[in-house]
Amino acid sequence: MIKHDPNCIFCKIVDGKIPSRKVYEDAQILAFHDISPWAPVHFLMIPKIHVPSMAQIEDEHAPLLGRMMALAPRLALQAGCLPYPDGGFRMVVNTGSHGGQEVHHLHLHVIGGPKPWLRGAIPPTAAGGAEV
Ligand code: 5GP
Ligand code: ZN
């Protein structure tokens, strides 16, 4: 599997060729605000290597996915999700056409903040500032 796809939007974000509002970054993982949030908090967590979707996941990726899952709750709180159990958040990984995946670089949506959530109804400024 290729580790980088020059035509992939999220690989370009990893490279800094497309700007993003970063939530978190380390050697393996990048998190950034979704350009089109549908809740007050909506960011994406991606591996820096190009993995198209969950359909390509192998055992070797388990530590990376584990780190993403383990990191998500802390980033969610830092991004403005309210504490469990009255608050909380949703974690979604769309996979393939039937799974509603539009960008084919594996990403974990982390979605939260006070309800109601309504896809497309939250202007970027309400989600924490100007989006790129
Ligand atoms: P999917 O439907 O593939 O699960 O979700 C892709 C997500 O990526 C969508 O929520 C969409 O708003 C977001 N997105 C697409 N292009 C960009 C971009 O260039 N920058 C950012 N920050 N988000 C993007
Ligand atoms: Zn990619």
Tens-digit pLDDT profile for the chain (132 aa)? Answer: 778 999 999 999 999 999 999 999 999 999 999 999 989 999 999 999 999 999 999 999 999 999 999 999 999 999 999 999 999 999 999 999 999 999 999 999 999 999 888 776 655 555 444 333
The residue extents of the domains of the chain are: 9-116
* CA dihedral of 127, 91, 109, 15, whole degrees rounded to 10: 110
Cβ–ligand 1 distance for 53 under 6 Å, the answer no
**pTM value?**
0.92
What is the spatial distance between Cα 4 and Cα 6, in angstroms, rounded to a whole number?
Answer: 6
Mapped onto helix, strand or coil, the DSSP state of residue 38 is coil
Looking at the domain covering 9-116, what would its CATH class be? alpha beta
Cβ–ligand 1 distance for 35 under 6 Å, the answer yes
What is the spatial distance between Cα 78 and Cα 105, in angstroms, rounded to a whole number?
Answer: 24
98 classed as catalytic:
no
DSSP H helical segments within 1-132, as ranges?
9-15, 62-79
82 burial (CB, 10 Å; 0-12 / 13-18 / 19+) is middle
94 burial (CB, 10 Å; 0-12 / 13-18 / 19+) is middle
Atom of ligand 1 nearest to the CA of 100: 2
